[in-house]
Amino acid sequence: MLKPNSSNRLQLYDLAGAQPQRRFSPYCWRTKLALAHKSLAFDTIPWRFTDKDAIAFSGQGRVPVLVDGDRIVFDSWTIATYLEDAYPARPSLFRGDGGRTATRFINTWADTVVSGGISRLIITDILGVLDEKDRSYFRETREKRFGATLEAVVADRQARVAGFRQSLEPLRAVLAMQPYLGGEAPLYADYIVFGCFQWARCASPFQLLLTDDPVWAWRNRLLCAFDGLAQKALGFPV
Amino acid sequence: MLKPNSSNRLQLYDLAGAQPQRRFSPYCWRTKLALAHKSLAFDTIPWRFTDKDAIAFSGQGRVPVLVDGDRIVFDSWTIATYLEDAYPARPSLFRGDGGRTATRFINTWADTVVSGGISRLIITDILGVLDEKDRSYFRETREKRFGATLEAVVADRQARVAGFRQSLEPLRAVLAMQPYLGGEAPLYADYIVFGCFQWARCASPFQLLLTDDPVWAWRNRLLCAFDGLAQKALGFPV
């Protein structure tokens, strides 16, 4: 199924909230930073959870969906590997096959530990920034996933945030040795984990990180990357 | 400081228990599997925690210590990168610079989550396999680290092991997509994490993994690697 794209810029379907410029999906942030890393010009198309028809051409119902000419790619990991293979002359996201396979572990760690941990701290705040038409969909699907009301999920978050910070120790230990997961400069591994924090920053005023945490400093470096692509995004200055 | 090594085989100082052939250090296992991956012939020299004089030539007091001709290298991560750089024509441990940097994260994850988790489940069993002369040193240093008696550290382990298994979810999620962290074949990333399980297997009869866990199957594949190098080691058939 093809979606014609007459522009020579890539198009990204990007999750938005009630305000069209509020773009908070961690997976879409991974893709946006990967596109910036590859110096690929792209336009974003705001999309809401219930806009299933708008991306039906991709054969599934979630974003990110990337349209690159006549190529349609979805799922942030698949998009990253697509970009790496389709644009090999541009800066590498993985720096080799060994980097690609090891980064896959960082992706599963981020999805389980970081996204999982953050969602239990901010999910009611996410509900608060959603477009009106998405709210019941979001509450129903997430409450089913958690087996609890969203309000119960975030209960006692001030007490639990220390445990979340502790769970970041493997990242912190790497950052004690080098400025990025990618070494001296960021790679896709950094964008994977950063996407989780950018999701929180765009949707929630809750302070996840202490300002003396090396993870805070790393996040700030990534906020400033690509002329402040992430920093300029509508969010909360935490 | 040089330790002459007239043999053309590498020498590895390898932590041993009361039985000289009980070799349980997770860090030494990482190195032994890295050496096997590189098809480098090596001899091991049994070493106990209190044999500080025997490795004083390395300028520090912990194993693994690798002696390669007139080169002395210690710390499992440093040894892995040394082997990769010194033997570039042999099978790669990282498959490129991107692999090396991303694997560093897997190393910190294994050290904190996997080793940390396993130690809280088996540390009294480790005490039980130690050479008599190491026991008070081990108890004192570890109780100081944990701030509790070793018996208190492992209390309720049957109840806590489910949480440990849950903490392996990022590994399990990768193994749902590919047979090894390294992809179709193991790389150093696999040996890092496997070393933690081999540490447990050599020192403790406690069952860490359920037999229907993909992590169990992955561990079994690595037990069989290199003609059963790890499987043949003195340990517990769990």
Instruction: Note which residues in 90-119 of chain A have CB less than 8 A from chain B.
Output: 92, 94-106, 108-109, 111-113
Distance from CA of A93 to the nearest CA of B (A): 9
Q: How far apart are CA B163 and CA B165, in angstroms?
A: 5
Q: How far apart are CA B116 and CA B196, in angstroms?
A: 9
Q: How far apart are CA A82 and CA A207, in angstroms?
A: 34
Nearest CA in chain A to B100: A99
Average pLDDT estimate for A209-224: 98
What DSSP state is assigned to residue A45?
Answer: E
B171 to A103: CB separation less than 8 angstroms, yes or no: no
The fraction of chain B above a pLDDT of 70, given in percent, is 97
Nearest CA in chain B to A190: B102
Q: How far apart are CA B96 and CA B53, in angstroms?
A: 37
The reply to whether B189 touches chain A by the CB within 8 Å rule is yes
Q: Which residues of B touch A186 (CB under 8 A)?
A: none
The answer to whether residue B84 scores a pLDDT higher than 50 is yes
Say if strands B10-15 and A65-68 run parallel, antiparallel, or are unpaired: unpaired
Residue of B95, B105, B166, B215 to mutate, testing the A interface (most A Cβ within 10 Å of its Cβ): B105
* Helix ranges, chain B (H): 26-37, 76-86, 97-109, 115-129, 135-146, 150-154, 157-167, 169-175, 188-203, 214-228
Nearest CA in chain B to A178: B101
Query: pLDDT, tens digit, for every residue of B116-166?
Result: 999 999 999 999 999 999 999 999 999 999 999 999 999 999 999 999 999
Question: How much is the pLDDT for A222?
Answer: 98
- As for the ipTM of the complex, it is 0.94
Lateral strand order in the sheet of B71-74: B42-47, B10-15, B65-68, B71-74
Question: How much is the pLDDT for B238?
Answer: 84
Cross-chain CB nearest to B102 (options A103, A113, A173):
A103
For residues A203 and A235, is the Cβ–Cβ distance under 8 A? yes
Q: How far apart are CA A93 and CA A153, in angstroms?
A: 35
Q: Which residues of A touch B196 (CB under 8 A)?
A: none
Average pLDDT estimate for B157-178: 98
- The sign of the CA dihedral B185, B187, B190, B194 is positive
Q: How far apart are CA A235 and CA A28, in angstroms?
A: 15
Residues 6+ apart with CB under 8 A from B39: B90, B91
Q: How far apart are CA A81 and CA A35, in angstroms?
A: 12
A80-84, B8-12, B63-67, B177-181 — which is least confidently predicted? B8-12
Question: How much is the pLDDT for B7?
Answer: 62
Residue with tokens 């070793």: B150
The fraction of chain A above a pLDDT of 90, given in percent, is 96
Question: How much is the pLDDT for B8?
Answer: 77
Q: Which residues of B touch A112 (CB under 8 A)?
A: 169-170, 173
- Burial grade of B227 (CB within 10 A; 0-12, 13-18, 19 or more): exposed
Average pLDDT estimate for B193-206: 98
Identify whether B4 is preceded by a cis peptide bond (ω within 30 of 0): no
The reply to whether A143 touches chain B by the CB within 8 Å rule is no
Question: How much is the pLDDT for B35?
Answer: 98
Distance from CA of B97 to the nearest CA of A (A): 6
Q: How far apart are CA A194 and CA A214, in angstroms?
A: 13
CA atoms within 13 A on the CB side of B59: 8
The reply to whether A174 touches chain B by the CB within 8 Å rule is yes
Q: Which residues of B touch A183 (CB under 8 A)?
A: 97, 101
Query: pLDDT, tens digit, for every residue of A106-117?
Result: 999 999 999 999
Query: pLDDT, tens digit, for every residue of B43-72?
Result: 999 999 999 999 999 999 999 999 999 999
B178 to A101: CB separation less than 8 angstroms, yes or no: yes
Question: How much is the pLDDT for A89?
Answer: 97
Residues 6+ apart with CB under 8 A from B134: B48, B49, B50
Q: Residue A200: how many CB atoms within 10 A of its CB?
A: 27
A96 to B99: CB separation less than 8 angstroms, yes or no: yes
B95 to A97: CB separation less than 8 angstroms, yes or no: yes
Q: Two tokens at B100?
A: 């090396």
Nearest CA in chain A to B93: A98
Cross-chain CB nearest to A98 (options B98, B173, B177):
B98
The fraction of chain B above a pLDDT of 90, given in percent, is 96
The mean pLDDT value of chain A amounts to: 96
A104 to B178: CB separation less than 8 angstroms, yes or no: yes
Query: pLDDT, tens digit, for every residue of A156-195?
Result: 999 999 999 999 999 999 999 999 999 999 999 999 999 9
Average pLDDT estimate for A3-26: 88
Cross-chain CB nearest to A99 (options B99, B177, B178):
B99
Cross-chain CB nearest to B108 (options A100, A174, A187):
A174
Using H for helix, E for strand and C for coil, what is the string for A137-197? HHHHHHHHHHCCCHHHHHCCHHHHHHHHHHHCHHHHHHHCCCCECCECCCCHHHHHHHHHH
Question: How much is the pLDDT for B6?
Answer: 55
The reply to whether A191 touches chain B by the CB within 8 Å rule is no
B170 to A101: CB separation less than 8 angstroms, yes or no: no
Question: How much is the pLDDT for A1?
Answer: 42
Give pTM, 2 decimals. 0.95
Res. A238 pLDDT band, cuts 50 70 90:
confident
Question: How much is the pLDDT for A6?
Answer: 55
Q: How far apart are CA B238 and CA B236, in angstroms?
A: 6
Query: pLDDT, tens digit, for every residue of A129-159?
Result: 999 999 999 999 999 999 999 999 999 999 9
What DSSP state is assigned to residue A91?
Answer: P
DSSP B62-108: -S-EEEETTEEEESHHHHHHHHHHH-TTSPPSSSSHHHHHHHHHHHH
Average pLDDT estimate for B17-43: 98
A2-6, A28-32, B72-76, B92-96 — which is least confidently predicted? A2-6
Average pLDDT estimate for A41-65: 97
Q: How far apart are CA A151 and CA A156, in angstroms?
A: 10
B99 to A101: CB separation less than 8 angstroms, yes or no: yes
Render the burial of A36-75: b for 16+ CB within 10 Å, e for the rest.
bbbebebebbbbbbbbeebbeebeeebbbbbbbeeebbbb
The answer to whether residue B1 scores a pLDDT higher than 70 is no
Res. B75 pLDDT band, cuts 50 70 90:
very high
Question: How much is the pLDDT for B147?
Answer: 98
